[in-house]
Structure 1
Amino acid sequence: MGLDKAQIKDLDTGTILTVCFNPKEYTFTKTAPWAEHNIHGLDAPKYEWTSGAAMRLNVELLFDAYELEGEKRDVRQWTDQLEVFQLVNPDLHRPPILLFWWGDKLQFKCVLRNMSLRFVMFEKDGTPVRAIAKCEFVEYSTPEEQLQAKPRHSPDHTKRRVVKEGDTLSWIAGKEYGNPAEWRIIAEANGIDDPLHLTVGRELLIPPLY
């Protein structure tokens, strides 16, 4: 049975970058953003949960073209693709959504947030043949995916509402939450870019307030 090599897949275009060598290690980090409120007369502050934070995957990847011949002896055939993973797709107006995949044990849907490239070996003409990439991938999931993966219970159940003639997001937020200013929650949950134009008959996901 062959050794699975780690891959980074662009989920928008299907482009796949296969690493030269599997990483020696990788690190997951996640923070819990609790807001600290100092209270006069008390020795310890009060903590209030604010919102979730995305999981981060930090990994170092080695790319090596030294053993190759001819035009292939250029490590930029891999590092250039890493750089593309941080560039804006002109059709989507954002960088790509990625999947860092290594066998059936690591499948991490993410975006490439930070990257540093260190070129450490060169041909006589200056062509780089070996490079080390330090990458920070950040978890990516839509509101719909999060709600489906971890349904939560609250006094305001997640529900759906059909858009009617004359409805606006702020009006719906006022009806559902009692506060028209909460319209952004509905917009984000339904991927709405233009809150002023709603399609009559469309079914909207109304997530609960936490």
Structure 2
Amino acid sequence: MNLEKASIDIVSGSKAGTQIRVLFNPTEYTLDRSNTYKATSIPGLGGPLFHFINGEADSLAMELFLDDYTDQAPGGKTVRDRVDEIAALLEIDNNLHAPPIVRFVWGKLSFTAIIEKLTRKLTLFKPDGVPARATLNVSFKEYRTLPELTINPRLQSADKSKRRVIIGNDSLWLLASREYHDVNKWKVIAEHNDLDDPRDIAPGDWMTIPPLEQDNGSRRRV
């Protein structure tokens, strides 16, 4: 079976369609993902409540190796040429007014991203001082368009009023956290149920949970 080579493909900007071949495949790569949460302190609880804010973009990191003596790049490109070619992907493209979007492709892995960080380490030089060997540590940050981010958002709608019964040590803060994912929205529940004191509730009481309204008066999804 032939060894499939990895590549960095430029997918936007003035150089869209250009492919940068990776002559030495990486020996490993790291995929990283994280989420952002907000911690809110509630009086009387032993710890804060955590509310999901948004998902962060995936990150892909790897080490690439370039060597003039052990691999030959197409077109006679030297290590310095290839390092400069990859480093240029962090520069602002004239057509985009931003660095170009790229796609790292290796076998079944296809990762559309921008290059977030590039560290260049030159380890061998020719007699005239020209670099002949380099190690590149590259960090890619996933890129998705707005339609891609909004498709199947897995959000629930709060566009209908609901009725909830107070159980045990429930509070308006906990109720707002469960229904709106924001404890600060307890005032919405209090005002809708004519509560002057948010603590003036007891187990068995019924609360009406109103839909949230946006600034333009339309109902908001939460």
Q: Which residue of 66, 76, 79 corresponds with 2:80?
A: 76
Shift of 1:52: 1.4
Q: What's the counterpart of residue 154 of structure 1?
A: 156
| Identical pairs, percent | 32
Q: Which amino acid aligns with 2:96?
A: L
Distance 1:40 1:89 in 2: 51
Q: Which residue of 61, 65, 78 corresponds with 1:62?
A: 65
Contact 2:23–2:71 (CA under 8 A) maintained in structure 1: no
Q: Describe the SS at the equivalent of 2:82.
A: helix
Q: What's the counterpart of residue 144 of structure 1?
A: 147
Q: Which amino acid aligns with 1:100?
A: F
Contact 2:8–2:20 (CA under 8 A) maintained in structure 1: yes
Q: Which residue of 30, 35, 55 corresponds with 1:32?
A: 35
List 4+ stretches of structure 1 deviating above 6 A: none
Q: CA RMSD in A?
A: 2.4
Contact 1:8–1:16 (CA under 8 A) maintained in structure 2: yes
Cα deviations across residues 22-75 of structure 1 (Å, max 9, x unaligned)? 111000111111111122332211101111100000111001112468x94730
Q: Which amino acid aligns with 1:77?
A: D
1:178 pairs with 2:214: yes
Return closer, same or farther for 1:127/1:42 CA change in 2, 3 Å cut-off.
same
Contact 1:27–1:58 (CA under 8 A) maintained in structure 2: yes
Q: Which amino acid aligns with 1:87?
A: E
1:124 pairs with 2:160: no
Contact 1:66–1:73 (CA under 8 A) maintained in structure 2: no
Shift of 1:110: 0.5
Shift of 1:121: 0.5
TM-score, scaled relative to structure 1: 0.70
Q: Describe the SS at the equivalent of 1:85.
A: helix
Distance 1:146 1:48 in 2: 20
Where in structure 1 are there 5+ consecutive unaligned residues? Answer: 158-176, 181-207
Q: What's the counterpart of residue 186 of structure 1?
A: none
Q: Which amino acid aligns with 1:152?
A: R
Pairing 1:13-28 to 2, within 5 Å after superposition: 13-28=16-31
1:108 pairs with 2:111: yes
Distance 1:9 1:76 in 2: 19
Q: Which amino acid aligns with 1:154?
A: Q
Q: Which amino acid aligns with 1:179?
A: D
Distance 1:75 1:61 in 2: 12
Shift of 1:138: 0.4
Which structure has the greater CA radius of gyration?
Answer: 2
Q: Which amino acid aligns with 1:7?
A: S
Distance 1:73 1:88 in 2: 23
Return closer, same or farther for 1:68/1:21 CA change in 2, 3 Å cut-off.
closer
Distance 1:29 1:113 in 2: 13
Where in structure 2 are there 5+ consecutive unaligned residues? Answer: 160-212
Distance 1:155 1:28 in 2: 32
